[in-house]
Amino acid sequence: MAKKKEETTSLIDTFSEFKDTKNIDRTTMVSVLEESFRSVIAKLFGSDENFDVIVNPDKGDFEIYRNREVVADGEVTDPNKQIALSEAREIDSDYEVGEDMSEAIDFAKFGRRAILTLRQTLASKILELEHDALYNKYKGRVGEIVAAEVYQTWKNETLLIDDEGNELHLMKGQQIPRDFYHKGDTVRAVVDHVEGAGGNPKIYVSRTSPEFLKRLLEGEIPEIADGLISLRRVARIPGERAKVAVESYDDRIDPVGACVGVKGSRIHGIVHELNGESIDVITFSNNPQLFIQRALSPAEISSMQVNEEEKRAEVYLRPDQVSLAIGKGGLNIKLASMLTEYTIDVYREVPEGEQTEDIYLDEFADEIDQWVIDAIKGIGLSTAKDVLNAPREMLIEKADLEEGTVDDVLRILKAEFEDE
């Protein structure tokens, strides 16, 4: 008897433990407990449909009743749903054939195996609920910034733990290049996506996503949080440089000045969080030419041809402005293209006095491999002057050519006009 009481107490303690630590609401808890009992009862008796299960997780107790029909002695065909009259009258002498009898069941009398099965079933269902709750919680937080503690760092991933003990995965490709973590460091990142619906969810966070920069700006600049300034576009090359296009709905507010702050005070904290990633803030415009011109700042554009249908722009600049438009390592023009969503081709303006007769690239086939000529023509450059007026970095990046190959092409083309 003491053993059964001990087993029953163990069950009640288990329910209490789940209630206190699993953060599950009362209605769901009652449903899970009842379902777990019924699952075990069905295994023991073949069916649970004639059982009433009453659980009270608040008090940590439960009651189980089996309902059977009283039948004449010798006519019992299903012991689970029927009881002989003589057996029923041992419980209550007033029972008659045809009546229904409800009998309290002491679950502990089914033995340790049944109790173990119940606990395993309950634990499995609770774990499933936890997984669903975690998935739904973070699925609803995609795009939000979270802070978590570094637990362990590997070559391709850093594992973070949030304040509830949940694991967050920060993959190497989602880390800013100069990020370096120690165990116990607090890291901020944006929830990128969640995998594992219906199973064990995996939460992935990012520090390289444009959404991370957006959320940082919203947190640092009250006018954005209040809706007075709108973040229209964000383009990033993580750890290097970013461009942000903003728009004000109040003519009295300078959107760029409000975002940057006095001497960069508002943007400084964000730059620090992004490990020195510089941030250019420009005013958004629905006019493609004006927007592209602002995006290529600090370069001064001489003229521009825009094809809105193909989302392409040909930009012409004085020779001394080309390097500014391209930027170090091509960052400025790359970010400008990302921000405006236009393919931007930059060309040097050739002074009228330097105009000379042009030559088609195909005429250099005896000196330049045809596949190289085709690659250059593939980005819209068909003559020698087109190539010589295009920035070297653009030829390397857009034509996908090696630096040495581009330098050979430029040398051959320059030599042709020097000979003239």
Is the pLDDT assigned to residue 291 strictly greater than 90?
A: yes
pTM: 0.69
Give the CATH number of the domain where residue 184 resides.
2.40.50.140
| 10 band by pLDDT with thresholds 50, 70 and 90 | low
Q: Verify that 223 and 301 share a domain, yes or no.
A: yes
**Rounded-to-integer distance, Cα 359 and Cα 386, Å:** 9
Question: What letters, b where the CB count within 10 A reaches 16 and e where it falls short, cover 11-34?
Answer: beebbeebbeeeebeeeebbebbb
Residues 167-189 have a mean pLDDT of 94
CA nearest to 243, candidates 327, 147, 302: 327
pLDDT digits (tens, 9 = 90+) for 208-246: 999 999 999 999 999 998 889 999 999 999 999 999 999
Give the CATH number of the domain where residue 311 resides.
3.30.300.20
Question: Chain-centre distance of CA 31, in angstroms?
Answer: 32
φ, ψ of residue 235 to 5 degrees: the values are -130, 135
Last residue of a domain, one of 148, 175, 207: 207
Last residue of a domain, one of 207, 235, 250: 207
Q: Verify that 283 and 401 share a domain, yes or no.
A: no
Q: Verify that 59 and 130 share a domain, yes or no.
A: yes
Q: Verify that 7 and 127 share a domain, yes or no.
A: yes
Q: Verify that 318 and 396 share a domain, yes or no.
A: no
Last residue of a domain, one of 136, 159, 179: 136
Taking residue 408's Cβ as centre, other Cβ atoms within 10 Å add up to: 16
pLDDT digits (tens, 9 = 90+) for 294-329: 999 999 999 999 999 999 999 988 877 888 888 887
pLDDT recorded at residue 40:
85
Q: Give me the domain span that covers residue 414.
A: 353-419
**Rounded-to-integer distance, Cα 46 and Cα 81, Å:** 10
Q: Verify that 25 and 60 share a domain, yes or no.
A: yes
pLDDT digits (tens, 9 = 90+) for 48-92: 999 998 887 666 678 889 999 999 999 999 999 999 999 999 988
pLDDT recorded at residue 33:
81
**Overall domain count for the chain:** 4
| 17 band by pLDDT with thresholds 50, 70 and 90 | low
Q: Highest mean pLDDT: which of 188-202, 270-284, 323-337, 402-416?
A: 270-284
User: What pairing do the DSSP bridges indicate for beta strands 186-195 and 145-153?
Assistant: antiparallel
Q: Verify that 188 and 239 share a domain, yes or no.
A: no
Give the CATH number of the domain where residue 358 resides.
1.10.150.20
Q: Verify that 321 and 380 share a domain, yes or no.
A: no
Q: Verify that 233 and 109 share a domain, yes or no.
A: no
Is the pLDDT assigned to residue 256 strictly greater than 70?
A: yes
pLDDT digits (tens, 9 = 90+) for 369-409: 889 998 888 887 878 888 888 888 888 888 888 999 999 99
**Rounded-to-integer distance, Cα 66 and Cα 228, Å:** 66
Q: How far is CA 100 from CA 67, 85, 92, 94, 107, in A?
A: 7, 11, 12, 12, 21
pLDDT recorded at residue 1:
45
**Rounded-to-integer distance, Cα 337 and Cα 414, Å:** 29
Q: Verify that 242 and 295 share a domain, yes or no.
A: yes
Query: Could you tell me the two tokens for 323?
Result: 């390097």
Q: Verify that 375 and 320 share a domain, yes or no.
A: no
Q: Verify that 18 and 43 share a domain, yes or no.
A: yes
Taking residue 44's Cβ as centre, other Cβ atoms within 10 Å add up to: 15
For Cα atoms 284, 290, 295, give the angle at the middle one, nearest 5 degrees.
65
pLDDT digits (tens, 9 = 90+) for 138-170: 999 999 999 999 999 999 999 999 998 999 999
**Rounded-to-integer distance, Cα 143 and Cα 191, Å:** 5
pLDDT digits (tens, 9 = 90+) for 22-48: 556 667 777 888 888 888 888 888 889
pLDDT recorded at residue 168:
96
The contacts of residue 280 (CB under 8 Å, 6+ apart) are: 241, 242, 243, 244, 297, 335
